[in-house]
Amino acid sequence: MALNHDFVGRTHKPTEIYEVSREKIRDYALATGDTHPAYLDPEAAKELGYPDVIAPPSFAVMLFFRFGGWPLYDPEFGKKKEPVCVHRAQRTTHRRPIQPGDRLVQTTTVDDMRVLGEHEQWTMTHTIDTVDGEHVCTVVNTILSRGTAAPGEG
């Protein structure tokens, strides 16, 4: 095993605050090619019943790398630059849309690590709350580390 399976059950301390802005939502939406007016135009969003624009559903996923990608770059975790990892599975659950002015913090827990033939994979849950403790979204990511399992494992 190249990865440190002792990370199962470990939780990273809550991240610093990510302050959501209209401009970042706009940039993110345009980067995905999704120009739904609810992301870009506060008046259109109000017609749908929101106080301001809302973020696309996948916006929450972006926070993983913005917050440093733990445990990817934790030296103790054992992930090396190569081989590269690939995304295997994902689930994103929203309690409400992310909105401008939200001050978000993310807490990440490694739920599971396993050997799959020559590969390893781990699953982590990112809990995204406002700094005041309101739960907004949960993202679960499973990442496959290609070819890092020792021969004969799994």
Partner 1 sequence: MAARVRYDEVGVGTEIPSREFTVKRVDLLRFCGACSDYTMTHWNERVAKAVGLPDVIAHGTFTIAEAVRVVTDWVGDPGALVEYSVRRFSHPVVVPDDDEGARLDVRGRIEKKLDDNQVVVRLSASSGGREVMSGARAVVRLA
> Which residues lie near partner 1 (CB under 8 A)?
27-28, 30-34, 36, 38-39, 47-50, 54, 56-58, 61-62, 65-66, 82-94, 96-97, 146
The smaller minimum CB distance to partner 1, of residues 6 and 112, is found at 112
The smaller minimum CB distance to partner 1, of residues 5 and 28, is found at 28
Separation CA 57–CA 141 (nearest Å): 15
Cα Dmax for the chain:
60
The smaller minimum CB distance to partner 1, of residues 33 and 117, is found at 33
Please report how close the Cβ of residue 87 comes to partner 1 at its closest, in angstroms: 4
Look up residue 74 and give its amino acid.
D
Separation CA 139–CA 151 (nearest Å): 32
Token representation of residue 55 = 């973020």
Please report how close the Cβ of residue 121 comes to partner 1 at its closest, in angstroms: 11
For residues 152 and 98, the answer to whether their CB atoms sit within 8 Å is no
Please report how close the Cβ of residue 72 comes to partner 1 at its closest, in angstroms: 10
Token representation of residue 23 = 């401009």
